[in-house]
Amino acid sequence: MSKVSIVECKTYELEEVKRAIEIAMGKADFPDISGKKVLLKPNILSDAAPEKCVTTHPVVLKAVIQLVRERGAGEILVGDSPALQNGGFKPKISQLNQICEEEGVEWVDFTIKPISKKLPIANHKVAMARIIDDVDLSISLPKFKTHEFMYMTGAMKNMFGLMPSVRKSAQHVRHPSRSSFARMICGISSVAKVEFAIMDAVMGMEGPGPGNGYPRAVNKIIAGKNPLAVDIAQATMMGYDPMKMPVIKCALENQIMEISSVDQVEYPLISAKDVIIKDFQRIGNNQPSDLDDHESEHLQRPAPQFDDDKCIYCKKCINICPAKALTFEEEKVCIDETKCIRCYCCHEVCPVSAISIPH
Ligand code: SF4
Ligand code: SF4
């Protein structure tokens, strides 16, 4: 069994957040970290203002740093590597860099001399932040959010950020279907040394996440030793069938995270089934289809649509597109749908919600 603590937390007041995380840690068997080197991995995505609910909230990071320090960590490091940010990036808009400075912890640049790691499950090598070989353990700090491609983000998918910068895009070409991409995420989670996950679900995101959805008060901190179990709790609260979430299904089937069934999650405080958000805006507002198991399922998915009136011509979508399906012609973004692999990376990075995914 894997324990997941769900704790009420209604504001981003530091004392309330810290109290909620401390309770969650205590009830979900937080590991002994005394003297250890710990990497904290928030979800930054594209570095947005905290009120947009794209990133892990700075107060959650501050509370975790203080609690990890109080529990005797030898060294605390913080890092993430958004796809369109190169070396030297610091998360200023999301205020996470400011928290690192206030707390005197090091922000790690994942792009410096990445290492090569062979991923189990996916069975190939990827570039990964060098720091992962240097720390004793990592703590995943995801945000409670929907995700157009994978239905939801989560504690496991959050560790995809260990792959430096735009190198992540190439994985979409290699793994275009949801089931294949899930194998790659499971492979990363297997080597990411995650020994605890603390999800910021005080304010979450519903609708067209992970970058352009709508803030939604969830009023919870969700935490546990097993990132898969935390993801099962999140999926349940969102109203999804957890077994239809590609990453959860793949992880359970391959038994890479100790448990082999959603029934092996134990809730010492609030049960996820008792706090399902009944009107939560899921992706497509439906349950995912069984089609997701097919390797060519991406060819059935809708291509993104572009709103020329909203576009500010930043070209971020063009720069991130791993299939080179986008061009800029006659002052508007044009898509070649025969090249598009429906990864929705363009949708993730658009700063003005000019890209939508039809459902
Ligand atoms: S156009 Fe968008 S969805 Fe299509 S391949 Fe490019 S980034 Fe992915
Ligand atoms: S990312 Fe959005 S705003 Fe920027 S060019 Fe693409 S559609 Fe336009």
Q: List, for residues 52-109, the tens digit of each pLDDT value.
A: 999 999 999 999 999 999 999 999 999 999 988 888 999 999 999 999 999 999 999 9
Specify the pLDDT at position 290.
60
pTM (2 decimals)? Answer: 0.96
Spacing, Cα 341 to ligand 1 middle (Å): 6
Q: What is the pLDDT of residue 148?
A: 94
- 8 Å CB contact between 339 and 327: no
Tell which atom from ligand 1 comes closest to the C-alpha of 326: 1
Between the CA of 312 and the centroid of ligand 2 the distance, in Å, is 6
Domains and their CATH numbers in the chain: 2-291 (3.40.50.11440), 302-356 (3.30.70.20)
| Rounded mean pLDDT for each run of 10 residues along the chain, 359 residues in total | 97 98 97 98 94 98 98 98 90 97 97 96 96 98 97 97 90 93 96 98 97 97 98 98 95 93 97 98 76 72 95 95 94 94 95 94
What is the SS3 assignment for 218-236? EEEEEEECCHHHHHHHHHH
Q: How far apart are CA 31 and CA 65, in angstroms?
A: 15
315 lines ligand 2 (CB under 6 A): yes
Predicted pLDDT of residue 86: 85
Q: Is the peptide bond before 176 cis (omega within 30 degrees of 0)?
A: no
Q: Which ligand is nearest to the CA of 313?
A: 2
Distance, CA of 36 to CA of 121 (rounded, Å): 28
Identify which of 83, 164, 85 has the alpha carbon closest to the alpha carbon of residue 117. Answer: 164
Q: Whose CA is nearest to atom 4 of ligand 1?
A: 340
DSSP string, 282-326: -GGGSPPPGGGGSTTGGGGSPPPEE-TTT-----HHHHH-TT--E
The single-letter code of the amino acid at 335 is I
SS3 199: strand
Which ligand sits closest to the CA of 315? 2
Query: Given this model, what pLDDT does residue 293 score?
Result: 65
Residues 23, 220, 57, 1: what is their CA dihedral angle, to the nearest 10 degrees?
60
